[in-house]
Amino acid sequence: MLLNQFLLLAAVLFCIGVYGVLVRRNGMLVLMSIEIILNAVNINLVAFGALTDNVGGEVFALFTIAVAAAEVGIGLAIVLLMYRNRRSIDLSEADLLKG
């Protein structure tokens, strides 16, 4: 089995996801980028699981998906509240943490 292809795919997805998180100003898109990062990890898990003939990889991937669902629920709620308060979901405007 060609492990490298999966790992490369995962790495590419991860980088895309990181790029999205860092650059995009739209909160929704940042959330989506996080999902991409998580799925890159999932690919790795499944790939290594298949390589070592161990079902644990798939199981972990399933858990990650479930956790991601929960996380996205919270993220959407944050974005929604942010929109309600500011009529905008531009993350560059949210700088109340400035020291």
**Where along the sequence are the contacts to other proteins (CB under 8 A)?**
18, 21-23, 25, 30, 91-92, 94-99
CB 88 within 8 A of CB 24: no
Question: In angstroms, what is the minimal distance from the CB of 75 to other proteins?
Answer: 12
Residues 6+ apart with CB under 8 A from 13: 36, 37, 39, 40, 43
Closer to other proteins at the Cβ: 58 or 71? 71
Closer to other proteins at the Cβ: 23 or 81? 23
Closer to other proteins at the Cβ: 30 or 38? 30
Question: In angstroms, what is the minimal distance from the CB of 88 to other proteins?
Answer: 15
Locate the DSSP E strands across the chain: none
At residue 17, φ and ψ (nearest 5 deg) are: -60, -45
